[in-house]
Structure 1
């Protein structure tokens, strides 16, 4: 069972969210090698969990298949929790996700998290291509979550059409002749950027992860709604809230700003329908930002905690104080793999995380 932080001034747990970002001049192979290196660094430096996110049809993001990436990472780490932040459930039949994450749990017992989102993680035409004519979507999310949990627990009622269908690997193997029941199944998290999933997570008694890094104005209202709606469950006895936050530390503030500006320009291009690779710092510095683009950049950077390690620690601590988050999941959207890796080292040093 997941439990919240003790009351008082205890710092939030620190974790990592990675998108396998692809910078200009780099390949998807380079990006995924960096993801692997980052997962190993996160484990070595004492971060609690490492999640990857599902996105589609975005040249600068190579994390379209979280289960595949997590299977790779499971074989190259030994202790850190691994999970999806998240799987976009409307894109997939629940049985497929139950089998994928049952397989991951069998590969890395006790280390797998299943984070679920209701957005497509892409544009409308790509979502339609993923769903191949299925008409259910985000509004059917509560039903899909319930169905997925039933598959994970293998406990459909006898009169249910799926009562004789079993997700494998899964509990059915423990009930077969000579079978041994697995100790656990992946815990389910709900992800969101508004109040919908916050309220649903509370009613179901599930841990909740909020996308503060791209919906900062909604963070406090969503977490308040989650806590008000919370009903204890077998999974969780009290609310547990994680927030995703963009952060990057460097030895000096100028270099930190130089690095995060690359992610800001990538976001400008995404929001104006021109998604591409993450630009280099030189390209970002020389880009002639229009007034509209400058507004986008300023709004984006206002919610990216960046600067020296002390600046970042102070900014993250202030965010925890303001939101009451139990856990911070840090993501760094920058061109340079070396800068991203170094940032996580510096943040770990600033918080005194003990090297493993």
Structure 2
């Protein structure tokens, strides 16, 4: 299989624009705030994708989450097809599809379809966590069996063979074709990325020579060890000739520092609700400011917010630059923690301004 079918190094690597030290991208959870609806949040995602394309962000990824009222991104492939119809150049992808939740053939078919709809600009990011709680994972998989780490490499290998249509003769799937796909004629296929928040996927991505995306936004203490492990494990492949690491970064810019903190505080309160078994829509900044945080809750908030780059545009730019220097990340993928769509759109616009990205 030639490089065109697998996604080449040049296709994967982005180009820094303006004064940004590395390419900037968007990670979108399609958050739903109090007083809003999923329909409104999905419209906001279209607006963000258009803004990101116009301002020179490299890619727009959708994360898979389930049974969480505050997000509307349970079906990344469906959302990505919609975004593809409203954009022309920006790369679109999953950040990520949780492989254990789906049959590999289904993922191959979905992303083969996306590649046919938006040739050359689709990424297939894969994770091995469920993206939800255990009961919801069991409902998705229709089994209570916990897919362990040992299953992920096998599932990944099967998915890759479906995408490339190259099961060996005698294999039970040798006569099965993922369509759209190679059986229908020469065609590209989305490059595979591995996502993670620990060392397992970092090492596997390195051994397989795949690009790697690390969830710094909720596992900051593991970022540098995981990236070091990825780089140490890396072996050149048909996909990449050198390591390429993206980190997901929670960042929010506002015209005033106080407003940025208000918006980020609402996301912190949402996380408290989620982690204490009370998931709901993203609270308003006013609700968050009025909430009587306990001592333990305040400690959580302080720790959570310390990992979010927030403030004025210049402060956010400086924070992102510092993070990139400390981690050596090849790309920063920014997720905006905020209650409303307007605040998220404004944040991406201000960050683009701070880096001198195009305005057209």
**TM bucket, shorter chain:** over 0.9
CA distances 1:285-306 after superposition (whole Å, capped 9, x unpaired): 0000001111111111010000
Are 2:184 and 1:173 aligned? yes
Distance 2:239 2:56 in 1: 24
Aligned to 1:72: 82
Look up the SS of the partner of 2:326 in the other structure.
Answer: helix
CA contact (8 A) 2:211 2:240 kept: yes
Are 2:148 and 1:144 aligned? no
Q: Trace 1:128-143 onto structure 2 (pairs within 5 A).
A: 128-133=138-143, 135=145, 137-139=147-149, 140-143=151-154
Look up the SS of the partner of 1:54 in the other structure.
Answer: coil
CA distances 1:298-349 after superposition (whole Å, capped 9, x unpaired): 1110100001111000000000000000000000121021111000000001
Distance 1:20 1:138 in 2: 28
Are 2:314 and 1:304 aligned? no
Q: TM-score, normalised by structure 1?
A: 0.95
Aligned to 2:104: 94
Aligned to 1:267: 271
CA RMSD, 1 decimal: 1.5
Distance 2:177 2:93 in 1: 22
Cα distance, 1:104 vs structure 2: 0.3
Could you say if the C-alpha distance between residues 136 and 151 of structure 1 is closer, same or farther in structure 2, counting changes exceeding 3 Å?
farther
Cα distance, 1:138 vs structure 2: 3.8
Distance 1:167 1:138 in 2: 26
Could you say if the C-alpha distance between residues 78 and 138 of structure 1 is closer, same or farther in structure 2, counting changes exceeding 3 Å?
farther
CA contact (8 A) 1:2 1:240 kept: no
CA distances 1:29-88 after superposition (whole Å, capped 9, x unpaired): 111111111111111111000000000000000000000000111101011000000000
Distance 1:12 1:90 in 2: 32
Distance 2:14 2:107 in 1: 30
CA contact (8 A) 2:99 2:126 kept: yes
CA distances 1:78-114 after superposition (whole Å, capped 9, x unpaired): 1100000000000000000000000000000001000
Cα distance, 1:10 vs structure 2: 7.0
Distance 2:106 2:340 in 1: 35
Equivalent residue for 1:62, pick from 51, 65, 72? 72
Cα distance, 1:136 vs structure 2: 5.8
Which runs of 5 or more residues in structure 1 are unaligned? 175-180
Cα distance, 1:354 vs structure 2: 1.4
Look up the SS of the partner of 1:69 in the other structure.
Answer: helix
Aligned to 2:189: 185
**How many aligned residue pairs are there?**
348
Equivalent residue for 1:346, pick from 325, 344, 350? 350
Q: TM-score, normalised by structure 2?
A: 0.94
Equivalent residue for 1:154, pick from 144, 156, 165? 165
Cα distance, 1:5 vs structure 2: 7.8
Distance 2:171 2:251 in 1: 46
CA distances 1:185-243 after superposition (whole Å, capped 9, x unpaired): 00000000000000000000000000000000000000000000000000000000000
Distance 1:2 1:208 in 2: 13
CA contact (8 A) 1:116 1:190 kept: yes
CA contact (8 A) 1:244 1:331 kept: yes
Look up the SS of the partner of 1:190 in the other structure.
Answer: strand
Aligned to 1:177: none
CA contact (8 A) 1:22 1:28 kept: yes
Equivalent residue for 1:117, pick from 114, 122, 127? 127
Distance 1:75 1:10 in 2: 28
Distance 2:255 2:41 in 1: 23
